[in-house]
C-alpha cells in the first residue's frame, strides 16, 4: 500500500502538470489570436488576487510569480490549500458561481492573465477546448483526493514528507543533489498545508535533515526526491485489522 500510495501521488502530480500544460497552451494561443478577452495584472507580493466571500468571475493564468490559496476556519485557523507557480491555472471554481470560498494571495510579485469566466466558457464551446478543461479538472480532482487520503490516514510527519515531495516536484529546480526549492516556504505555511503546528513542522524538518531526506544549502532547500519516496514506501504501509467483533480500520506501521 505504501508503494502504491507513493506511485499514485506521482501519477496525480504528473497528470495535473500535463493537463495544465495542455490547457495553458490552448489559452495562450486563444489570447494571441484575440479570441479570448483577457487582461494582465501585476500583483505585488503578499497582496490578494481575490478574497473569500467576494464575487470574482475570472480564471487566472499565472505567467510568473507564486500564488497560494487558503481558507480560514470559523475559529480563525488558516488552511493552505495549494501553491501555484508559473504556467499554472487557478480560480476555476468561478465556474460554480457565487462567492469565493478561498482567498488567493501572492507569495512573491506575480504577473497573471485575468480571464472572464463567461468568455472562457464561450470559447471552450466554440473551439473544442472543453476536453482539455475536463482533463485538467479531473487531474486536479485526483490530486486533491490524494491529499485528502493523506490527511485521513497518515500522521503529521508523513504528511509533511508527502507535501515536501509534491512541492519539490512542482516548484523545484534540478540540482545535482536532487530538487532545489529556491522560493522560501515558511514552516508556518507548511503547517497550514499539513494540518499540524509550526513547532511540530520544525521538529519534523530537523528529523528529515538528520535522516538525509532534505538538506539546507544557504537560502535554498534541497529535497532528496528518491530518498523521500523510499522513506514513504517504508513507513506509510497501512492494513485493515479484523476483530471478532467486526472490522476496525487501523493504521499499522510495517
Q: Is residue 149 part of a domain?
A: no
Please name the residue that has the C-alpha cell 509550526: 198
Q: pLDDT tens across 176-189, in order?
A: 889 999 888 899 99
Query: pLDDT tens-digit profile of 48-79?
Result: 999 999 999 999 999 999 999 999 888 888 89
CATH of the domain at 24: 2.60.120.10
Containing H/E element for 164? helix 156-171
Last residue of a domain, one of 87, 113, 144: 144
Per the structure, how many domains does the chain have? 2
What is the mean predicted confidence (pLDDT) over 32-52? 87
Ranking 112-116, 123-127, 209-213, 220-224 by mean pLDDT, the lowest is: 123-127
Do 15 and 134 have their domain in common? yes
**Burial track 171-197 (b if 16+ CB lie within 10 A, e otherwise):** bbeebeebbbbebebebebbbbbbebe
Question: Against a cut of 0.85, is the pTM above it?
Answer: no
Give burial (CB, 10 Å; 0-12/13-18/19+) of 162. Answer: buried
184 lies in the same domain as 104:
no
Residue 182's domain comprises 154-248
Crossing angle of helices 117-127 and 130-153, rounded to 10°: 120
Amino acid at each position: 500500500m505504501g508503494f502504491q500510495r507513493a506511485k499514485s501521488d506521482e501519477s496525480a502530480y504528473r497528470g495535473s502538470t500535463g493537463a495544465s500544460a495542455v490547457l495553458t497552451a490552448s489559452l495562450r494561443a486563444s489570447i494571441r489570436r484575440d479570441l479570448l478577452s483577457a487582461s494582465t495584472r501585476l500583483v505585488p507580493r503578499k497582496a490578494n488576487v481575490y478574497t473569500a466571500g467576494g464575487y470574482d468571475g475570472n480564471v487566472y493564468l499565472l505567467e510568473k510569480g507564486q500564488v497560494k490559496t487558503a481558507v480560514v476556519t470559523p475559529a480563525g485557523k488558516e488552511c493552505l490549500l495549494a501553491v501555484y507557480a508559473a504556467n499554472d491555472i487557478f480560480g476555476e471554481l468561478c465556474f460554480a458561481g457565487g462567492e469565493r470560498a478561498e482567498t488567493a494571495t501572492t507569495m512573491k510579485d506575480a504577473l497573471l492573465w485575468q480571464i472572464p469566466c463567461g468568455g472562457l466558457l464561450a470559447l471552450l464551446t466554440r473551439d473544442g477546448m472543453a476536453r482539455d478543461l475536463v482533463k485538467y479538472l479531473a487531474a486536479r480532482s485526483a490530486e486533491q483526493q490524494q491529499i485528502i487520503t493523506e490527511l485521513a490516514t497518515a500522521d503529521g510527519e508523513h504528511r509533511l514528507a508527502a507535501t515536501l515531495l509534491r512541492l519539490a516536484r512542482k516548484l523545484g529546480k534540478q540540482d545535482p543533489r536532487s530538487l532545489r526549492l529556491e522560493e522560501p516556504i515558511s514552516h508556518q505555511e507548511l503547517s497550514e498545508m499539513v494540518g499540524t503546528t509550526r513547532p511540530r513542522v520544525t521538529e519534523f524538518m530537523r528529523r528529515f535533515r538528520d535522516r538525509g531526506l532534505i538538506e539546507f544549502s544557504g537560502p535554498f532547500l534541497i529535497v532528496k526526491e528518491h530518498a523521500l519516496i523510499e522513506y514513504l514506501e517504508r513507513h506509510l504501509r497501512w492494513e485493515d485489522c479484523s476483530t471478532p467483533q467486526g472490522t476496525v480500520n487501523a493504521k499499522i506501521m510495517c
